[in-house]
Amino acid sequence: MGHVPNPRPAGDFRTSYIGDNALFKTRFEGKAALGIVLALVIAAPFLSNYVLSQLIVISIYSIAALGLNILVGVTGQISLGHGAFFGFGAFASAWIVNSFGIPALIAIPLAGLLTTAVGMIFGVPAARIKGLYLAIATLASQFILEDFFARAEWFSGGVYGALAERPTFFGFIFDTDLSYFYLVLFWVVASIVAVTNLLRSRDGRALVAVRDHYLSAEIMGVNLTKYRILSFGISSFFAGLAGALFAHYLEFVSVEGFTILLSIQFLAMIIIGGLGSVYGTILGAIFVLLLPQVMEGAATSAAGLFPALETGKAYIKEMSVGAAIILFLIFEPEGLIHRWRVIRASWKLFPFAR
Amino acid sequence: MNSELLLQLLLNGIIVGMLYGVVAMCFVLIYKSTQVVNFAQGEFLVLGGWVCLSLVIQMGLPFFLAFLFTLVFMAIFGIVVQQIILRPLIGEPIISVIMVTIGLSIFMQSLMNWVFGNDAKRFPDIFGSLSVISIGGLNVETAYVMSLVLSLVIMAVFYFFFRFTRHGLAMRATAFNQQIAQSLGISVKQTFAMAWAISALVSGVAGVVMGIVSAVSNSLAFVGIKVFPAVIVGGLDSIVGAVVGGLIIGVLENLAEFIDGEYLHIGNLYTIAPFYVLIIILMIKPYGLFGTKDIERI
């Protein structure tokens, strides 16, 4: 995993360790983050249902992609089975609610914990193998879990799928998109804070050390096996949490929804957004989820000129994701967040930078 | 115990396993000489099948001419993919290389869905491929026999190419050590292009064969996924291992189907068994039967 450069503008000095470890690097960053969250909270009641549903889906996928970014971007492992863990969280939450009568609000984080356990089991091969071999092992876990969903009727309802009711809170039901958006927003903010916090702790630095040079890390006293499996656990927790939120949003979980394509979509989000970057992940999720819709709109409006496009809309949507992965890897391998940093730096250094 | 069914399934396993072996060989060829893992190998195979089929059905070409055109097309396609997509990524981390071929596979899959349609299509019956011959009391379709023979021919050609030709030697040298090969006057760029061309071409042949045996459809790309258990069992950088691994996986999945059908009745063991084996192999012998152990020094 290469070093991700972060061009820091002139004048932005860190004079203490506390300053270097701060949650928000500059006061403006903190205010901007708070401002965006407040703006979303205030603006939400005025948004149309379509926009709200898009925001909910983007937020849920951001949580899952954030987990994957800890595994891939921060720890340098590879997982092609993240979609299956997302699915496991969805089924687990529905199972907990339906079989034990535990309220959905509690079941959602519980499902995350259950997925953590499963993710750590599937992460065990990571203790011995890495790189390509690990990629293939996680590919196998994707297929094994998918098979499990279709077969374990006690857990997932088999081919019929499972029902997942909307959560309630002392009689208040999160049954509108608006109220559900607030619930999801809470979890997104909590996840972002948790991950940013993790990255500035000893454990976070250990994960980065495992990525950058695992032999040196081991010599410095980082337990490789522990941190590799831990990073699988953390990433599965966010996948499970997001999956559970997704299940209770759709109110139904079906076996077909969690294929390898979903795993690839998550990988596309973090690669397009920027490996190892928290805010990049969110940009990536927005990009990957909106791109197919933009392409569909473009195809519809161009269909007047080229009637062939009308029939190919569904395919253009899929192709655009594949093409975006390829183009980003060739032309902008560090992702959207790098582009943003460059723009920010050139703005600050105005006459001296391009 | 139904021994006739068992034998029939084993024979099927060997025949399908040989095809897996051929595709696994293409996969290993690319990995060995260019260090790229090609997740789009299955799509290469499907593309070969579709191109040949549309030349036969829509252009009305005779089969052998269409087959030749397919070979040329696939070789050029392989080179183009290598030049445009993989060359900029030389030296990038492994996740980027994996992701770019995954992106390519999604792109190709949906493009082929669009251009060639979602339905499976059959080749016109050229070889009387549906007629049945009997080997040792077992009934085998001619198409299966043909595919077995063709797989063997491809493997023999691979062997002779790498053992006795200058280009084969150059490719082995590049796989062994790129810098030394370059200093001996071998063009590494040309060798990379050639590896992709050969791999795409042979996958295309496998696609045509599978198209004749069953039918051409986009779901044939699953072979590209089945290749992973095969190459892990055999060892990622061993051509012999790829063939052996392909055979093992082919026999294994048919055996799993037999055990499932006769005793366990779980269903679907056929598709999932290779992946359990994959995980077990990775746990106990990560470099496979014939792979070179990767020893790292500080």
ipTM, two decimals, is: 0.86
**Chain A residues lying within 8 Å of B218, measured CB to CB:** none
**Which of B99, B101, B253, B277 to probe by mutation at the A interface, max A CB count within 10 Å?**
B99
Does residue B36 surpass a pLDDT of 90? no
B205-244 confidence digits (pLDDT tens) = 999 988 888 888 888 888 888 888 898 888 888 888 899 9
Segments of chain B assigned E as strands: 132-135, 138-141
- Using an 8 Å Cβ cutoff, are A33 and A211 in contact? no
The residue count of chain A comes to: 354
- Using an 8 Å Cβ cutoff, are B279 and A144 in contact? yes
Distance of CA B82 to the CA centre of its chain: 18
Measured CA to CA in angstroms, residue A14 lies from A33, B153, B243 at distances of 20, 67, 58
B66 versus B286: which is more confidently predicted?
Answer: B66
The stretch B155-176 carries a mean pLDDT of: 87
Strands A168-169 and A172-173: antiparallel
At B95 the pLDDT is 84
At A32 the pLDDT is 85
At B11 the pLDDT is 86
Name the helix (H) or strand (E) containing A252.
strand A252-253
A3 versus A294: which is more confidently predicted?
Answer: A294
At B256 the pLDDT is 87
At B174 the pLDDT is 86
Angle between helix B239-259 and B3-34 (nearest 10): 150
CA–CA separation, A79 and A236 (whole Å) = 10
Does residue A1 surpass a pLDDT of 70? no
Closest chain B C-alpha to A53 CA, distance in angstroms: 26
Domain limits, chain A: 55-258, 259-354
Average pLDDT, chain B: 85
Does residue B165 surpass a pLDDT of 60? yes
- Using an 8 Å Cβ cutoff, are A338 and A332 in contact? yes
Choose among B232, B238, B236, B272: nearest CA to B252: B272
- Using an 8 Å Cβ cutoff, are B253 and B246 in contact? no
CA atoms within 13 A on the CB side of B38: 32
A281-328 confidence digits (pLDDT tens) = 999 999 999 999 998 888 888 877 777 777 778 888 888 999 999 999
CA atoms within 13 A on the CB side of B83: 10
Backbone angles phi and psi of A167, in degrees to 5: -65, 155
A9 versus B152: which is more confidently predicted?
Answer: B152
* Tokens encoding A273: 């957004």
Q: pLDDT above 90 covers what percent of chain B?
A: 28
CB crowding A108-137: b at 16 or more within 10 Å, else e: bbbbbebbbebbbebbebbeebbbbbbbbb
- Site of tokens 């189907």: B257
**Chain A residues lying within 8 Å of B93, measured CB to CB:** 1-2
- Please tell me if residue A318 touches chain B, with a CB cutoff of 8 Å: yes
- Using an 8 Å Cβ cutoff, are A65 and A216 in contact? no
Domain limits, chain B: 3-221
The stretch A178-189 carries a mean pLDDT of: 93
**Which of A133, A153, A295, A310 to probe by mutation at the B interface, max B CB count within 10 Å?**
A133
- Using an 8 Å Cβ cutoff, are A268 and B107 in contact? no
* Tokens encoding B62: 């005779």
CA–CA separation, B96 and B104 (whole Å) = 12
- Using an 8 Å Cβ cutoff, are B116 and B54 in contact? yes
Between A26-30, A243-247, A253-257, B98-102, the lowest mean confidence (pLDDT) is in A26-30
**Chain A residues lying within 8 Å of B236, measured CB to CB:** 132-133
**Chain B residues lying within 8 Å of A139, measured CB to CB:** 225, 228
Does residue B45 surpass a pLDDT of 90? yes
B181 versus B268: which is more confidently predicted?
Answer: B181
- Interface A-B, measured as beta-carbon pairs within 8 A, has a size of 126
B9-32 confidence digits (pLDDT tens) = 888 888 889 989 999 999 988 888
pLDDT-derived band at A3 (thresholds 50, 70, 90) equals very low
At A2 the pLDDT is 42
* Tokens encoding A82: 């993240």
SS3 content of chain B, % helix, strand, coil (to 5): 75, 5, 20
CA–CA separation, B148 and B202 (whole Å) = 15
* Identity of residue A5: P
